[in-house]
């Protein structure tokens, strides 16, 4: 009998996380789907659905204990929960930025600290941190979000070195723009700021809105399939680009001066 593989995924209420649950379940994985509001998972097929807030350690450990109680292990952790706020750094709300970092950065740290000891017991595991192509180059009025995703890159690299001796693999996924609720949430979180016509950065906000309206978005199923294929690999690379437009992919290889020239022209 094939041994079950237990995968725990955060941020499963919408988007990539939701689709990834279905794909892995169809592949025969034991999938633990989590979200802050477990009611948001009611229409989702999963082996287990749990409430989990990555910013609250009590919530995290309650969920982890339930998974271990039922399945006795966690083989794969997908740190998918995250969101964005927009705004020029002079204007952006610092408290709102702290809340975003609590989810995008410290949420990953919280999850890793809870799950790694369980993986170490088995001397194996995979940690998949969902970053962003915005963790590879910066765009104006997106500096705070980019900073959070740059942090995910650094955390992933450090964790991979620290866990090498325990046969625990770590990779960071760098998606491009995907057709999810991400941009709707972004606009909702930043609407007062980016719609202010009196802002000295209004030209940036208007340009960003135009670019978003024209942007081609990848279907979340396509992105989730690519991520599931990565998870299935026996040996993970340090990072993977997923659903990244050619132009964005090229920019990541530009020298700093050329990156800045391109973004200024954009």
Q: Provide the residue ranges of all domains of the chain, joining segments of one domain with +.
A: 6-265
- % of residues, the chain, pLDDT over 70: 96
CA 243 – CA 130 distance, rounded (Å):
13
- Ramachandran region, residue 122 (left: φ > 0; alpha: ψ -120 to 50; beta: rest): alpha
Given 2.40.37.10, 3.40.309.10, 3.60.15.10, 3.40.50.720, which CATH number is that of 6-265?
3.40.50.720
CA 20 – CA 231 distance, rounded (Å):
11
Structure confidence at residue 203 as a pLDDT band (50, 70, 90): confident
| Distant-in-sequence, close-in-space partners of 178: CB < 8 Å, separation ≥ 6 | 15, 16, 217, 218, 219, 220, 223, 243
Asked if pLDDT for residue 93 goes beyond 60, the answer is yes
Average pLDDT rounded to a whole number, residues 59-75? 98
Asked if pLDDT for residue 176 goes beyond 50, the answer is yes
CA neighbor of 77 nearest in space, from 43, 121, 115, 39: 115
Asked if pLDDT for residue 188 goes beyond 80, the answer is no
Q: State residue 184's pLDDT score.
A: 65
- % of residues, the chain, pLDDT over 90: 78
| Distant-in-sequence, close-in-space partners of 138: CB < 8 Å, separation ≥ 6 | 146, 259, 263
Asked if pLDDT for residue 213 goes beyond 90, the answer is no
Which CA distances in Å does 266 have to 132, 193, 196, 206, 208?
19, 21, 21, 12, 9
Structure confidence at residue 1 as a pLDDT band (50, 70, 90): very low
pTM of the predicted model as reported, rounded to 2 decimal places: 0.93
Q: State residue 263's pLDDT score.
A: 85
Q: State residue 266's pLDDT score.
A: 72
Average pLDDT rounded to a whole number, residues 178-197? 73
Tokens found for residue 155:
């955390």
Higher pLDDT, 128 or 1: 128
CA 15 – CA 217 distance, rounded (Å):
12
Q: What is the mean pLDDT of the chain?
A: 92
The 10s digit of each residue's pLDDT in 18-57 is 999 999 999 999 999 999 999 999 999 999 999 999 999 9
Lowest-confidence pick of 8-22, 38-52, 146-160, 175-189? 175-189
> For 199, phi and psi rounded to 5 degrees?
-70, 140
| Cβ burial, residue 256 (10 Å; 0-12/13-18/19+) | exposed
Catalytic residue IDs = 145
Structure confidence at residue 82 as a pLDDT band (50, 70, 90): very high
CA neighbor of 20 nearest in space, from 40, 46, 39: 46
Residue 125 is inside which H or E element, if any? strand 125-130
């Amino acid at each position: 009998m094939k041994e079950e593989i237990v995968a725990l995924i955060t941020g499963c209420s919408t988007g990539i996380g939701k689709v990834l649950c279905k794909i892995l379940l169809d592949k025969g994985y034991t999938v633990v789907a989590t979200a802050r509001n477990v009611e948001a998972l009611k229409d989702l097929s999963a082996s287990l659905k749990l409430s989990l807030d990555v910013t609250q350690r009590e919530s995290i450990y309650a969920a982890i204990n339930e998974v271990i109680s039922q399945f006795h292990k966690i083989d794969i952790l997908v740190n998918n929960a995250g969101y964005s706020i927009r705004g020029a750094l002079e204007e952006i709300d610092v408290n709102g930025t702290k809340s975003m970092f609590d989810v995008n950065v410290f949420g990953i740290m919280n999850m890793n600290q809870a799950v790694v000891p369980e993986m170490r017991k088995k001397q194996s595991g995979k940690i998949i941190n969902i970053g962003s192509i915005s963790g590879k180059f910066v765009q104006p009025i997106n500096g705070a979000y980019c900073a959070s995703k740059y942090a995910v890159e650094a955390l992933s690299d450090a964790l991979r070195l620290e866990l090498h001796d325990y046969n625990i693999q770590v990779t960071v996924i760098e998606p491009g723009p995907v057709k999810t609720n991400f941009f709707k949430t972004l606009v909702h979180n930043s609407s007062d700021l980016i719609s202010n016509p009196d802002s000295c950065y209004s030209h940036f906000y208007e340009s960003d809105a135009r670019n978003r309206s024209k942007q081609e978005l990848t279907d979340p199923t396509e992105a989730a399939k690519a991520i599931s294929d990565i998870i299935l690999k026996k040996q993970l690379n340090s990072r993977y680009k997923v659903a990244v437009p050619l132009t964005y992919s090229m920019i990541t290889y530009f020298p700093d001066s050329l990156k800045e020239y391109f973004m200024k022209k954009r």
